[in-house]
Amino acid sequence: MEKIGFIGVGIMGRGMVRNLMKAGYEVNIFARHPKKVSDIVAEGAVLHDTIASCVKAVEVVITIVGFPTDVEEVYFKAGNILDSAIEGSVLIDMTTTSPTLAERIFAEGTKRGLKVLDAPVTGGDTGAKNGTLSILVGGEESVYEHCLPIFQAMGTTITYFGPAGNGQHAKLANQIMIAGALSGVCEALTYAKKKGLNLTTLLGAVSKGAAGSAQLNTFGPKIISEDYAPGFYLKHLLKDLKLADEEAVAEGLSLDVLSQVLSEYQELEDKGMGDLGTQALIHYYRREK
């Protein structure tokens, strides 16, 4: 069984690493703040003090970091992944990032004799913990098939979308859907509260009907209880929506819902709410007009 290197042991990465170890993989990790992963190390992960050391010890490298700039750094900075990976290794970026950047990593990795997949995920921290993530994959199909057991250790819905970058395009489509659905939840709860309805009763009445959705069922109760702890950071969804908007503009598409929710999240980020969960979108509707 291949040894796996994992870079990005954050909200999502922690559960993913644990599930890989449960599946029997030796997982080598790099973390900028080693103290934050001491529990993962105690459970069996092998901690390295450099990216290069981690990458040289494994056959498969998985990354899930914050922003496209972080992806560029871990892959392209001198001495990091592309410089250090052993020829024939597989590189899997599971960050939601630019499709163009995914294509660039694929091209550069291929030049160096490496196999590259873009495989962003959806399902939040709960999916990461439970091993029920949906994984959206782009790259060469033979590499995808080879890595399927690894993906199955972390997720339950694994889908191949075609050439490099297509996994990222699929994820951006997913984020557009989330943006519209969560915005609808926030608008509905704002309306219902203004009309004096009991919000918990309302959720019980509509969540199993046509209005039901993962966004309503997951975040409706949290919004009602004013729980804004991040399962997925507001700032990270904002980043994703910006990427989707850039791709839409490049294609000449006018996606009005995307543009509106993007502006709403940007306003909240500007007010210092980026480290809250995505359900903090309700603050936009509660602001003074």
pLDDT of residue 280: 97
Task: Tell me the per-residue pLDDT of 230-252, one tens digit each, with 9 for 90 and over.
Answer: 988 999 999 999 999 999 999 99
pTM of the predicted structure, to 2 decimals: 0.93
Write down the architecture of domain 169-286 according to CATH: Orthogonal Bundle (1.10)
Q: Give residue limits of the domains in the chain.
A: 4-163, 169-286
pLDDT of residue 155: 98
pLDDT of residue 288: 54
pLDDT of residue 2: 87
Output the six-digit token pair for 92. Answer: 């899997």
- CATH number for the region 4-163 comes to 3.40.50.720
Closest CA to 119 of 144, 101, 100: 144
Asked whether 264 and 242 are in contact (CB, 8 A), the reply is: no
Residues of the chain with pLDDT under 50: none
What does the DSSP 8-state code read for residue 60?
E
pLDDT of residue 1: 74
pLDDT of residue 34: 86
Active site residues: 171
